[in-house]
Structure 1
Amino acid sequence: MADSGDVSSPRYRRPYAVAGSLELLRGPVSGVVRLPAHLDWSGHAEYDLDAPGRIVDLYRAVLVEAASPQDLYAFLNAAVLRRLWAVLWLPAQLRRAWELKFPVLAEITRITATA
């Protein structure tokens, strides 16, 4: 059977980096962070982690664009990720990959979806 061009087909799935362990996510929790170009090429790659909207933007950019777990370890923090998880808009495939690996994140999604 020929591929119908469906972008949800495995042929078109993007590989996302997933951390080996949440405990390895020890990135900064405050201050200004500048992401490298491979994570943010927008020209607005500076993120003030003390500004609620910008920290959400940084976490989304890093989760979506990370080329390897090392990108995740350098810029994400496990406690902050858990706090932001419910409000992060992420591609379904990426969210699923992280929630399969880390049931605590799936539980956060479940609890917030029923609240």
Structure 2
Amino acid sequence: MTGDSATRPHGYAKPVVVPETLDHLRGPTTGVVDLPRHLKWSGNPHYDLAQPGRMGDLYRTVLNEAASPDDLHSYLSRDSLIRLWPTMWLPQAVRHAWEERFPELRLVPRRAA
């Protein structure tokens, strides 16, 4: 597979969007992030990244709801994703699609949440 892609894993209702490279992930790591309605269609779309756990909530939402690679590039940061990866709960199809493209994510040691 080359380039940014969206795949629809067997048995998973929606496509999983995965970037071409983790280096394209240059989203914010501080401040308050307001997600657009297509990413956060229910509940509070404001994420204060200074509050404990909010960055993980933001990443989980974006990984599950991304409609395009631009969503990933705009809201995720490579280093933060790698740091959070072992503790994030994600649907198996989402985790598999990302780890298939980026085997290095499988190697990040799992920690307790």
Aligned residues: 103
Q: Where does structure 1 lack aligned partners over 5 or more consecutive residues? A: 1-8
Q: Where does structure 2 lack aligned partners over 5 or more consecutive residues? A: 1-8
Q: Say what the alpha-carbon RMSD is for the aligned residues.
A: 1.6
Bigger strand fraction: 2
Bigger helix fraction: 1
Instruction: Please tell me whether the aligned partners of residues 12 and 93 of structure 2 are also in contact (alpha carbons under 8 angstroms).
Output: no
Partner in structure 2 of residue 6 of structure 1: none
Partner in structure 1 of residue 30 of structure 2: 30
Matching of residues 34-53 of structure 1 within 5 Å: 34-53=34-53
Counterparts of 1:49 and 1:55 in 2: how far apart (Å)?
Answer: 5
- Structure 1 residues 28 and 14: alpha-carbon distance in aligned structure 2, compared to 1, 3 A threshold: same
Counterparts of 1:84 and 1:105 in 2: how far apart (Å)?
Answer: 10
TM-score of the aligned structures, taking structure 1 as reference length: 0.83
- The structure number with the bigger radius of gyration is 1
Structure 1 SS opposite 2:29:
coil
Which portions of structure 1, spanning 4 or more consecutive aligned residues, are displaced by more than 4 angstroms? none
Q: Name the aligned partner's letter for residue 79 of structure 1.
A: D
Q: Deviations over 1:30-75 (max 9, x none)?
A: 0000000000012300001112211111000000000011100000
Q: Deviations over 1:8-51 (max 9, x none)?
A: x8265421100111000000000000000000012300001112
Q: Percent identity over the alignment? A: 50
Counterparts of 1:12 and 1:28 in 2: how far apart (Å)?
Answer: 29
